[in-house]
Structure 1
Amino acid sequence: MNTYEEKYAKTKEKQLVLWKEMVHRVFGENQNDLIKITDRNQIIEILNAVGTDEADNHTFLPTSGGLDLHGATASHEEGRIELTFEGRTTYIVNPDSLTFHQVGEDPEWWYFRLNTKPFKASGVYEETTPVEQVFESELDKEVSWSMSYYGEEVLELEAGVYVDYAVREIGHLGYDEYGNSIPLPDSARTVHRGINGGSYAIFSKYALYNRVSSTYDARHNKVSDDEFRVYINNIVNSLNKK
């Protein structure tokens, strides 16, 4: 084992202990091998605890790829929540439930799954009919495809006020009557609205699941909550036989 591997192994051992302790703090005496929460405030409280804990996490997105969760809060959009990821990336989602799965005794395979529901688009990007799609520009087609797959990326000027994300690239809101550019407000931020719904799987950042590149294909979102648990359980059983 080289120096990097030794250092990684020690860090992993420490992080998995922290992950286990974090779960115990979150659920206390109510910890079970399967827990389901539907109350929005409780979901926010737990996700915020996970995101701010010294136990590092990694969250697999509903489309593909993953980000480290840093926290959660109530959204200004009624009934929804905001997830804050690394790089100040913000997702607005419509929560359905948060489940915790304690698969086996090794916290490496203990994970959370946030299940979210679709919700209405902001209206910033116009929906087109099949006939209109024939005349779309390549940029329009790219935006339409992106929304159907990833959701809706917009620039939020203030709470609930959205404009095309491209305005961020332009750097201003147009010009006033004197020809001076109108600056973006200090509150402007990029927001990803998860209008298509889907699930987010949260593991310890040092879990083996995160080190396998093929798991970043959003396979957790292609099956039900129960089916994904069976999938993880089968992996654990296979590893235990070796």
Structure 2
Amino acid sequence: MSGQPKSGDTLATWTLTKTIDAGGNADVWLAQRGDGQKGAIKILRNLKDETYARFRNEISALQKLGDIDGIIPMLESDFPEGKGARPWYAMPVAQSSRAFFHKADSAAIVKEFVRLGQTLAKLHALHIAHRDIKPENLLGLHGRLCFSDFGLVKYPDLTPITPEKRDVGAKFTMAPEMRREAAGADGLPADVFSFAKTLWIVLTGQSLGFDGPYIAGSNVGLTNFLGKKYTTILDNLLSDCTQHDPLARPAITEVVTRLNEWLEVVADFQLQNAYEWREFAEKFFPLQSPNEATWTGPDAIITVLSEIAKVPGLNHMFFPDGGGMTLKAVRRAAEPDFIDLDTDFAVLLKPAKLTYVSFGFDPNWDYLRLEIEPVNATGHYPVKPGDYVEHLSELLPGQYAHPDVYEYRFDRGRELPVGSRAVVRYLKGAMVFFSTSSPYNQNSATYDARHEKMSEAEFKAYMGRGARESREKASRA
């Protein structure tokens, strides 16, 4: 074909019907064969030497990769000679990645990127780099996501095309070395960089990527888009894959392994809970988790407890007088040196110390123990010598009254200050915090406040025995 293609033109057995995409150097047409089969025909528009050579390489690469699953196959091609002749190749009609992932959740997206990563691993094993991974070059075909558009492909016996100092790839997914000098860059780690940025775009639903390395705590962090979904494994992976230094990035085989790890964790609540509890410890002990650590002072204790309160389902708090609740938040209370624990009700106490205990293997056996500084009752009603709590009305911050003042505020028609609430003020005792899926929390008998009936050392020994028995049982299984 020479001249601009138009509807009704024929290429071999194909008849062009309408354009479906227009790139910088080529157009894609919807076409139909005489037997009724539909296809998409990519026709080179820019006939300059460099683009002409790239199109030839693309056809050559597709011929080499025709039997690899996860690549849009080439059905037919022609590379006519002569001035103005336009090379072309035909492929199946496929879905855009946006249509393919319509309403897909994060797990479904990652599962598909695992398959895509496995395909890329096969290419990399052959030292073939795609070099143009972006959402637009991923298409859905036969129920799976596939690579398309190998116009920038690089493989061992390829004649170099890219001029020095020229960048190559999509701007928002391009690795930094491809921006600096694509001709001399290693395409394999560059693919890993682009793969990770493309995954981020699809997971977040954003139309464009982000500049530089991924930083979980920034406005591009996945938690800003995936809500309460567990993201730590993905956060660490995206950070590693988008490092400026190509040698610091993992191989695509490792990327696939870590994506599968995330899928395994989010599908198993107990496993996820163990990961979250371990990560809580790693925030405070990044080099090595100790067997025991202690914090004193309200601010230090608030800092630690706030970490476990951030993650839904991570913690369960056991009261010294029996029962338990999930800790949702913690902050300073108005009463001097007291802290305010937000559960389904407000809990006020004066902390003496907070101790972290680990037995060095399964984090589900680790726990925190909060010792309460004994304090006097406020005197708004009589409390017995053995009582752990007093129930109060807090009318203003730190200003208490009899519990009936708040409880019967409507019955008595009394208007209270804005922010008034019922509170539980602890007078003594100890609390313990466990991961929600811990064996201790899974045993309903532990609601008997047994931790309060033992000394700190006795409870540690009690939990240590359970942890060792659990490990021995697992080793025999």
Q: TM-score range by the shorter chain?
A: 0.7 to 0.9
- The corresponding residue for 2:139 is none
> What are the Cα deviations for residues 23-75 of structure 1, in whole angstroms up to 9, with x where unaligned?
11133236311001113211111111111135611011101000001121111
CA-based RMSD:
2.3
Q: Which amino acid aligns with 1:215?
A: T
Contact 1:155-1:163 at 8 Å conserved across structures: yes
- The corresponding residue for 2:88 is none
Contact 2:266-2:272 at 8 Å conserved across structures: no
- The corresponding residue for 1:28 is 286
3-state SS of the aligned residue for 2:395? strand
- The corresponding residue for 1:114 is 370
Cα pair distance change 1:218/1:156, threshold 3 Å: same
Q: Which amino acid aligns with 2:369?
A: R
- The corresponding residue for 2:389 is 151
Q: 2-side partners of 1:62 and 1:8: how far apart?
A: 33
Q: CA shift at 1:9, angstroms? A: 8.0
Q: Does the alignment pair 1:167 with 2:423?
A: no
- The corresponding residue for 1:224 is 455
Q: Which amino acid aligns with 2:354?
A: L
- The corresponding residue for 1:140 is none
> What are the Cα deviations for residues 120-172 of structure 1, in whole angstroms up to 9, with x where unaligned?
211211x4xxxxxxxxxxxxxxxx45x84341010111012212112223225
Residues 130-141 of structure 1 mapped to structure 2, 5 A cutoff: none
Contact 1:93-1:194 at 8 Å conserved across structures: yes
With normalisation by structure 1, the TM-score equals: 0.80
Q: 1-side partners of 2:327 and 2:393: how far apart?
A: 21
Cα pair distance change 1:95/1:77, threshold 3 Å: same
- The corresponding residue for 1:96 is 352
Q: 1-side partners of 2:466 and 2:438: how far apart?
A: 13
Paired-residue identity, %: 30
Contact 2:313-2:326 at 8 Å conserved across structures: no
Q: Which amino acid aligns with 1:162?
A: Y
Q: Which amino acid aligns with 2:268?
A: K
Q: Which amino acid aligns with 2:367?
A: Y
Q: Which amino acid aligns with 2:417?
A: P
> What are the Cα deviations for residues 163-185 of structure 1, in whole angstroms up to 9, with x where unaligned?
211222322595xxxxxx43122
Q: Which amino acid aligns with 1:188?
A: S
Q: CA shift at 1:221, angstroms? A: 1.0
Q: Does the alignment pair 1:83 with 2:335?
A: no
Cα pair distance change 1:37/1:169, threshold 3 Å: closer
- Of Structure 1 and Structure 2, the greater helix share is in 1
Q: 1-side partners of 2:415 and 2:411: how far apart?
A: 6
Q: 2-side partners of 1:210 and 1:66: how far apart?
A: 9
Higher relative contact order, structure no. (Cα contacts within 8 Å, ≥ 6 residues apart) = 1
- The corresponding residue for 1:133 is none
- The corresponding residue for 2:99 is none
Cα pair distance change 1:116/1:76, threshold 3 Å: same
Residues 180-191 of structure 1 mapped to structure 2, 5 A cutoff: 181-191=413-423
3-state SS of the aligned residue for 1:18? helix
- The corresponding residue for 2:307 is 49
> What are the Cα deviations for residues 188-212 of structure 1, in whole angstroms up to 9, with x where unaligned?
11111101x1111100001111111
With normalisation by structure 2, the TM-score equals: 0.42
Contact 1:113-1:200 at 8 Å conserved across structures: yes
Count of aligned residue pairs for this structure pair: 210
Q: Does the alignment pair 1:208 with 2:464?
A: no
Q: Which amino acid aligns with 2:360?
A: G
Cα pair distance change 1:9/1:240, threshold 3 Å: farther
Q: 2-side partners of 1:171 and 1:232: how far apart?
A: 45
Q: Which amino acid aligns with 2:415?
A: P
Q: Which has the larger radius of gyration?
A: 2
Q: Which amino acid aligns with 1:120?
A: N
Contact 1:71-1:84 at 8 Å conserved across structures: yes
